[in-house]
Amino acid sequence: MDDVEINPQIELFINRHSTPSWVIEDATTDFIDLTYILKGRAYYAINGTTYEVNQGDLICIPKGSRRSATTDPKNLMTSYALNLHLYDLKGQDVHLPFPLITHIGEPKELNVLYNQLKLEWLKQNKGHKLKARALLLLILHYYFKFLYDKSNNGSIDNRIQKAIRYILSNLQSQIEVEELASIAGLTSAYFGTLFKKYMGASVKEYINRMKINNAENILLSGEFSVQEAAYKCGFEDIYYFSKLFKKIKGFPPSRILINNSRSDRQEMDILIK
């Protein structure tokens, strides 16, 4: 689902406070069920298998699944439940690549987002659905970070944050590991180890990825050639830049210029017609 532009549609959002007799009847869903357990315990049967879920668990039931649920009468469940649809920009269904059950814990940031979503959903002011969709995207972003971003495993060390700020402010320059280690106040060897621990990539890999992402943005503007974009990102060897760009992005930088040219021609055709 990397880099897929998604359009979320909320069918139902509820802050559920279950009673002892609460039940979801067995049926096939025509939506994605994304439920976060605030308190208590429940039992979800998904495609014939029963799962116990507890406080801090996230349930992600794909569209088209058979689902039923009950709560523990002695430990009633409270949850935020979302029935939603996800589409790409062509209107095709998008699958959420989340496990069925994940223990998220009780992060303050996530609770704030759900509270904001609840407020917008219940106020029903003009434009509330747009605001709700924006908050849903932030909630999904949080889950993606938790599940797939290695750098999200705990707070990033302040020394590493300082080095990252320097990298992002100097993408046009040659950046050496020794220089970053000095800024962080660490030896080069320890800095490299600590950086990879928090960022999930070596210093060089991270710098190259940020530089290539920056070059892609420069090329997408349509204002610069491949050579100019390379120079603006600290690359003097155009052959190396193009090779690295293709390795990271999966396509050569020239493709962006070709696509831009096609878009310009299509726009001109529309204006002429």
Task: Please write the tens of the pLDDT for every residue from 12-51.
Answer: 999 999 999 999 999 999 999 999 999 999 999 999 999 9
Question: Does the predicted TM-score (pTM) go above 0.75?
Answer: no
pLDDT of residue 155: 61
Q: Is the pLDDT of residue 175 over 80?
A: yes
**Residue 80 vs residue 88, higher pLDDT:** 80
Burial class for 53, CB neighbours closer than 10 Å (0-12, 13-18, 19+)? buried
Determine which of 13-27, 122-136, 178-192 has the lowest per-residue pLDDT on average: 122-136
Q: Of all residues in the chain, what percent carry a pLDDT higher than 70?
A: 91
Each as own residue / partner, the long-range contacts of residues 140-148 (CB below 8 Å, 24 or more positions apart, any chain) are 140/6, 140/8, 140/96, 142/107, 142/109, 142/110, 142/113, 143/58, 143/98, 143/102, 143/104, 146/102, 146/104, 147/98, 147/99, 147/102
pLDDT of residue 261: 57
Beta bridge mates, 78: 17, 39
Q: Is the pLDDT of residue 119 over 70?
A: yes
Q: Is the pLDDT of residue 230 over 70?
A: yes
| Contact between 186 and 196 (Cβ < 8 Å) | no
Q: Is the pLDDT of residue 151 over 60?
A: no
CB atoms closer than 10 angstroms to residue 71: 23
Q: What is the mean pLDDT of residues 92-105?
A: 91
Q: Is the pLDDT of residue 186 over 70?
A: yes
pLDDT of residue 270: 37
pLDDT of residue 271: 34
pLDDT of residue 156: 73
Determine which of 12-26, 36-50, 108-122, 249-263 has the lowest per-residue pLDDT on average: 249-263
Q: What is the mean pLDDT of residues 146-167?
A: 77
**Residue 149 vs residue 188, higher pLDDT:** 188
pLDDT of residue 227: 94
What residues contact 194, with CB distance under 8 A and at least 6 apart? 157, 159, 160, 186
**Residue 128 vs residue 102, higher pLDDT:** 102
Q: Which band of pLDDT confidence, cut at 50, 70 and 90, is reported for residue 150?
A: low
Q: Is the pLDDT of residue 264 over 50?
A: no
Phi (first) and psi of residue 117, to 5 degrees = -65, -45
Highest mean pLDDT among 8-12, 155-159, 197-201: 8-12
pLDDT of residue 269: 43
In whole angstroms, what is the distance from residue 90 CA to residue 94 CA? 10
